[in-house]
């Protein structure tokens, strides 16, 4: 793993940057799975702005090497319900350096280490490995998106 990461809370003025990063980061998966209804690369900036305004929703830039290498969004209603990561991404040029794992650890440091949920693409082995390594377990629930892709759900207590 490379260096440290910090999480810097995004502010309203960052929505355009978050959206542009999201589209770039998820474009390859959109082309691979053609999931135009669920892939973050297919969303418009207004959808990101709506999520930004949701209660308990916080976007953080993942900062490493002096750069914004990705983004993690945490939903934490601070009411005992499961906290949620949705979405998390690392920009293509920064992948494979452990930044997603470090970002998740930092999110847990900020929001508490237990009672989390997330979901990911079942066919993306690297994602499954990361989340299982981080202590998440599959709930057994999956949703078929199309013939090429399923979503699998995880929880961490």
| CA-to-CA dists, residue 91 to 4, 25, 53, 107, angstroms | 16, 5, 24, 18
* 23 assigned to some structural domain: yes
Distance CA 17, CA 39 (A): 18
* 1 assigned to some structural domain: no
Q: Count CA atoms within 13 Å of residue 109 on its CB side.
A: 9
* 60 assigned to some structural domain: yes
CATH label of the domain that carries residue 135: 3.40.630.30
Show the domain range for 29: 6-156
> How many domains does one find in the chain?
1
* 15 assigned to some structural domain: yes
What DSSP character marks residue 16?
H
* 111 assigned to some structural domain: yes
* 146 assigned to some structural domain: yes
* 112 assigned to some structural domain: yes
pLDDT truncated to tens, each residue of the chain (157 aa)?
Answer: 556 999 999 999 999 999 999 999 999 999 999 999 999 999 999 999 999 999 999 999 999 989 999 999 999 999 999 999 999 999 999 999 999 999 999 999 999 999 999 999 999 999 999 999 999 999 999 999 999 999 999 999 9
pLDDT at 2: 53
* 133 assigned to some structural domain: yes
pLDDT at 83: 98
């Amino acid at each position: 793993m490379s260096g440290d990461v910090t999480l810097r809370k995004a502010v309203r003025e960052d929505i355009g940057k978050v959206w542009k990063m999201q589209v770039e980061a998820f474009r390859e998966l959109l082309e691979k799975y053609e999931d135009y209804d669920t892939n973050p690369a297919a969303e418009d900036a207004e959808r990101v702005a709506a999520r930004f305004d949701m209660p308990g929703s916080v976007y953080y830039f993942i900062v490493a090497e002096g750069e914004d290498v990705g983004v993690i969004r945490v939903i934490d209603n601070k009411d005992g319900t499961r906290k949620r990561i949705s979405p998390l991404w690392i920009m293509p040029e920064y992948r494979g350096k452990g930044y997603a794992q470090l970002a998740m650890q930092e999110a847990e440091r900020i929001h508490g280490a237990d009672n989390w949920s997330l979901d990911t693409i079942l066919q993306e082995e690297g994602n499954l490995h990361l989340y299982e390594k981080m202590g998440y377990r599959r709930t057994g629930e999956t949703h078929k998106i199309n013939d090429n892709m399923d979503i699998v759900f995880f929880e961490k207590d």
